[in-house]
């Protein structure tokens, strides 16, 4: 008897809303687990060429943990394309002023690039504090498997 691989179709995918608390969690470990949820790798029907992931709401992005001297030494770069158009910001500045962008950049770095990755990142919602406006979706609290203070 020949085994058949199941390929997920768009109509077969059931999407769940998860809420993840980022307070005191390491940024990289949090980003990798959120990326797994967005891609759908936690599901049995995972198919690499299909977006079978869930919606993820990240709260308390302002209180994420950075180990070592990353607040001073880690840099984020933007280039405008014009001469002298390089803007450099440290992780401390990003965490203080733009915590949502910092979290989105970390998660985007772990998603596939191209049209599929752009579709997946649209299911991510990041908030600096505890409040979010997605209560009507009845999100399920997701406990991270890794990370956090021990």
Give first-to-last CA distance, the chain, whole Å: 49
- pLDDT value at residue 3: 77
- pLDDT value at residue 4: 81
16-65+100-141 belongs to CATH 1.20.140.10: no
Q: Where are the domains of the chain?
A: 16-65+100-141
Whole-angstrom distance, CA of residue 21 vs CA of residue 110: 19
Reduce the DSSP state of residue 89 to 3 states and report it: strand
Asked whether the beta carbons of 7 and 47 are under 8 A apart, the reply is yes
pLDDT in tens, 4-17: 888 888 888 999 99
Compute the average pLDDT of residues 69-77. Answer: 97
pLDDT in tens, 87-113: 999 999 999 999 999 999 999 999 999
């Amino acid at each position: 008897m020949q085994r058949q691989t199941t390929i997920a179709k768009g109509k077969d995918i059931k999407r769940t809303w998860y809420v993840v608390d980022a307070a005191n969690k390491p940024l990289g470990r949090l980003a990798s687990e959120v990326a797994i949820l967005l891609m759908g790798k936690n599901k049995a029907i995972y198919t690499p060429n299909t977006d079978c992931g869930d919606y993820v709401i990240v709260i308390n992005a302002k209180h994420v943990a950075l180990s070592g001297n990353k607040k001073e030494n880690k840099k984020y770069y933007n280039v405008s394309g014009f001469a002298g158009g390089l803007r450099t910001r440290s992780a401390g500045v990003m965490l203080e002023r733009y915590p949502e962008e910092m979290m989105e950049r970390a998660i985007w770095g772990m998603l596939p690039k191209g049209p599929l990755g752009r579709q997946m990142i649209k299911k991510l919602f990041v908030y600096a504090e505890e409040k979010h406006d997605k209560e009507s979706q009845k999100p399920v609290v997701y406990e991270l498997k890794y990370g956090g203070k021990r």
